[in-house]
Structure 1
Amino acid sequence: MAPSFELLFKPFKERPEWHFTKAIRTRSLHFVAAKDYFQLSTWLCIGGLLQTAAVAYFGFRATIPVIVLLVLRTIDHLSMALGITHNRYMDGAIRKKWGVQLPHADGTLSSKPADESVVVFFVGQQVNHPLGFMAPGLTENRYYQNQIAKALDDYYDKKGLLGWSQWQGTTEHANNMIMFIMYWKNIESLHNYAHGPEHMAGLRWWSQGAGKKYPHLSVFHETYIAPKGHFENIYLNCKPLGFGATTVPISKPSEDGKENKLEWLMPIVDSKRGPLRTFARRMLRDDLTAHEKEDNDIWDNTV
């Protein structure tokens, strides 16, 4: 029997901090959304107006903090770019070619790519209003969304949620389109979450008139079920993101054998060689290997 894939990280005894918890702790969830409510020129005008008011009140001494901050940041980033100081933007990046393979229920990994199924769920919103964060109905909408998002913590690990990542739209200069990509063990888990009290409360608010009253608020979702052998992924020098930001709980018997204890696996494996080396191999598609054989030097020299 062929050996199974090897995890790059040992199992965690405590559940790693996942993206939602980190986003709340660092407030990035709100900052990322807020900066896209208005165009860049609008934010520059607001900053210029505030600086003008500060100069009018405090004199030109008010420009000192701005100049000092700009100089410090310039020195900081130049020193990182020149290799003088540590490049903190690389913190957390996995410096190799890696991918994600979900383990079986007992925590073991197969030697066959994509040997477990997964559900991918896209959900998001847009705010199409000139007043941005002051748009009518947005405060109520955000309340329900926060309740729905916080409820995810109870589904992470315990009830089928593997993890999720937050993304920002770029098709408009300022539309505040936010999307979340979630990964679930199965469709039943996602369906149970959708019919939980938090999501149903938001759905009732929307269906009982909010959708018509606030047409500038939009929501959307897409759901895809990827069965065994029908998905693949690859990451080069990336920080954990997307499918790579998932965590799988594994029940292990304790040393005394009296109870089971949970361990958490980051299902990240080395993808440079073997059955994960190329797209055709990861998708179990022998009919696609002809092109890849012509470019062996690419796969051999990739990270």
Structure 2
Amino acid sequence: MFAKPIPGRTTAAAEGEVTVFLIGMRINHFWALHHWFPVFVQMPRMLKELSKHPDGGLLGYHLLTGSPRTYYVVQYWESKEKLLAYAAAPERLHRKAWSMINLMEPKSGRHVGLWHETYIVQPGSYESIYFDMPAYGLAAAHGVLPIERRGATARDRFARGKSGSKAD
């Protein structure tokens, strides 16, 4: 099933602070399947869990690959507090996965690498534009607006965010 493009120019309906979380893995040795595959399957399980609990704060995500060795997820969260709460919740899959990874790590022989980055983006420090696209990225997470509601140029959209004024 493919999402239909929204005609024309649109922008994300995000307001205020935006929380973006990037997380990924790199397969350092393909032949060591028993070391990297258990790690590889954890993220889809966590995303499924988060999708079943929308009150947990995950607004949207995209699974991506940078090469045959690297896989990552761009996630948009309601707030950094909800992201941190999920990461620390003992009843959620993240804690169980992290425990498994910590147990495997000394024996893994560096067969798999892991990374994450978290960005808390202040108003006036982000903008977006989409041309004939379905809701994607920030717009998929926060909703879509016609571009005219936020400004015709990137400069206009940045300025709007800094002033805190709302044209909506």
Quick check: TM above 0.5?
A: yes
Aligned-residue offset at 1:129:
1.7
Within the candidate set 42, 46, 49, 1:148 is matched to 46
Residue aligning to 1:223: 118
Give 3-state SS (helix, strand or coil) of 2:63's partner. strand
Task: Check if 1:212 corresponds to 2:106.
Answer: yes
Task: Check if 1:165 corresponds to 2:75.
Answer: no
User: Normalising by structure 1, what TM-score?
Assistant: 0.47
Aligned counterparts of 2:41 and 2:66: Cα–Cα separation in 1? 21
Q: How many residues align?
A: 157
Paired amino acid for 1:201: K
Aligned-residue offset at 1:202:
1.1
User: Residues 11 and 150 of structure 2 are in contact (CA less than 8 Å); yes or no, is this contact kept in structure 1?
Assistant: no
Which structure shows the higher strand fraction?
2
Deviation readout 1:27-61 (Å, 9 max, x if unpaired): xxxxxxxxxxxxxxxxxxxxxxxxxxxxxxxxxxx
Which structure shows the higher helix fraction?
1
Q: What are the residue-to-residue correspondences of 1:257-272 with 2, within 5 Å?
A: 267-271=143-147
Aligned-residue offset at 1:179:
1.2
Residue aligning to 1:190: 83
Q: What are the residue-to-residue correspondences of 1:234-245 with 2, within 5 Å?
A: 234-245=129-140
User: Residues 155 and 193 of structure 1 are in contact (CA less than 8 Å); yes or no, is this contact kept in structure 2?
Assistant: no
Aligned counterparts of 2:12 and 2:134: Cα–Cα separation in 1? 13
User: Normalising by structure 2, what TM-score?
Assistant: 0.81
Aligned counterparts of 1:181 and 1:187: Cα–Cα separation in 2? 14
Paired amino acid for 1:138: W
Aligned-residue offset at 1:192:
0.7
Residue aligning to 1:281: 156
Aligned-residue offset at 1:201:
1.0
User: Residues 165 and 245 of structure 1 are in contact (CA less than 8 Å); yes or no, is this contact kept in structure 2?
Assistant: no
Deviation readout 1:72-99 (Å, 9 max, x if unpaired): xxxxxxxxxxxxxxxxx8x611221111
Aligned-residue offset at 1:237:
1.6
Structure 2 residue runs of 5 or longer lacking an equivalent are 161-168
Aligned counterparts of 2:105 and 2:57: Cα–Cα separation in 1? 30
Aligned counterparts of 1:218 and 1:269: Cα–Cα separation in 2? 38
Aligned-residue offset at 1:188:
0.6
Q: Percent identity?
A: 24
User: Residues 5 and 132 of structure 2 are in contact (CA less than 8 Å); yes or no, is this contact kept in structure 1?
Assistant: yes
Paired amino acid for 1:118: V
Give 3-state SS (helix, strand or coil) of 1:137's partner. helix
Structure 1 residue runs of 5 or longer lacking an equivalent are 1-21, 23-88, 103-114, 248-266, 286-303
- Call closer, same or farther: CA 1:213–1:138 in 2, change over 3 Å: same
Structure with the greater relative contact order (CA < 8 A, sep ≥ 6): 1 or 2? 2
